[in-house]
């Protein structure tokens, strides 16, 4: 699914991106860099439906994200994986329950495509396998406050990958991970690219050092209004 920005203007007290037009192509990873305070968070919020632009349009495929209605926007969101700069797990739920929320909109208890593997898998089995892969199988019944910073990062990242998103938006989330964990998620990135997923990484220092993963680097400073 391609992402197209057309004459997009985002403006608040700290951010002023003016009349941006750009096309993000499916199957590619874009690394978006910029100085602190450039407006990265405002741009991400616009892309995921938390903050409407002042002017212009955002298209996911043929869907106008803000003008085609709430239902259309909801359907796009179901195809997104979002990794924020903070884990954002619900404190009143276990780790397993937090991951299971990723499938809350799926009425059937199966998914038919998990990162290139054509299998019918029960949702619970997908989550158990993921927790085993990231060495947190024995933590599945714990609440988030009982996990370390690095463990929380892994849960948050895995949550975004679990349902094979068509669009992955990643906000600087590799801090606190071991090299083994970085390699594990690198493989997931490559698999998602192979399956024609679109990946946008913002300010991720680990990604910026892995040029083999990046298809194009975007300097957000060039998008900032200088008037």
The pLDDT assigned to 164 comes to: 82
- The CA distance from 168 to 41, in Å, is 15
**pLDDT score recorded for residue 112:** 41
Question: Which residue range forms the structural domain that includes residue 146?
Answer: 3-223
pTM of the prediction? 0.86
pLDDT tens over the chain, length 227 residues: 899 999 999 987 666 888 899 999 999 999 998 887 788 888 999 999 999 999 999 999 999 999 999 999 999 998 999 998 888 899 999 999 999 887 765 544 444 444 444 455 678 888 999 999 999 999 999 999 999 988 999 999 999 998 789 999 998 766 667 888 888 998 999 999 988 899 999 876 677 777 788 999 998 888 887 65
Structural domains in the chain (count): 1
pLDDT at position 223 is: 84
Output the domain CATH number for residue 194: 3.40.50.300
Tell me the C-alpha distance between 198 and 76, whole Å: 13
Residue 15: what pLDDT? 67
Residue 58's H or E segment, with its range, is strand 55-60
* 81-to-35, 36, 40 alpha-carbon distances in Å: 25, 24, 17
Residue spans of alpha helices (H) in 26-122: 40-48, 70-77, 95-100
Supply 48's token pair. 């995921």
Going by C-beta distance under 8 Å and a sequence separation of 6 or more, which residues neighbour residue 179? none
Helices (H), the chain: 40-48, 70-77, 95-100, 123-133, 149-161, 179-194, 205-208
């Amino acid at each position: 699914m391609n992402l197209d920005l057309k004459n997009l203007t985002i403006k608040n007290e700290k951010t002023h991106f003016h009349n941006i037009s750009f096309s993000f192509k499916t199957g590619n990873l874009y690394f978006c860099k910029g100085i602190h305070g450039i407006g990265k968070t405002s741009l991400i919020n616009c892309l995921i439906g938390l903050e409407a632009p002042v002017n212009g349009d955002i298209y996911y495929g043929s869907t106008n994200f803000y003008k085609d209605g709430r239902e259309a926007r909801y359907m796009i969101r179901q195809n997104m994986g979002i990794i924020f700069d903070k884990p954002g797990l619900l404190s009143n739920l276990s780790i397993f329950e937090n991951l299971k929320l990723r499938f809350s909109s799926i009425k059937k208890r199966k998914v038919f495509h998990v990162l290139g593997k054509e299998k019918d898998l029960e949702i619970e089995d997908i989550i158990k396998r993921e927790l085993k892969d990231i060495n947190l199988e024995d933590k599945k019944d714990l609440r988030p406050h009982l996990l370390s910073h690095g463990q929380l990062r892994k849960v948050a990242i895995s949550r975004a990958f679990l349902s094979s998103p068509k669009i992955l938006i990643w906000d600087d989330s590799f801090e606190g991970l071991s090299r083994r964990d970085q390699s594990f998620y690198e493989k997931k990135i490559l698999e998602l690219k192979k399956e024609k997923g679109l990946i946008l990484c913002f300010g991720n220092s680990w990604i910026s050092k892995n040029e083999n993963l990046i298809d194009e680097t975007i300097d957000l400073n060039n998008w900032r209004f200088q008037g």
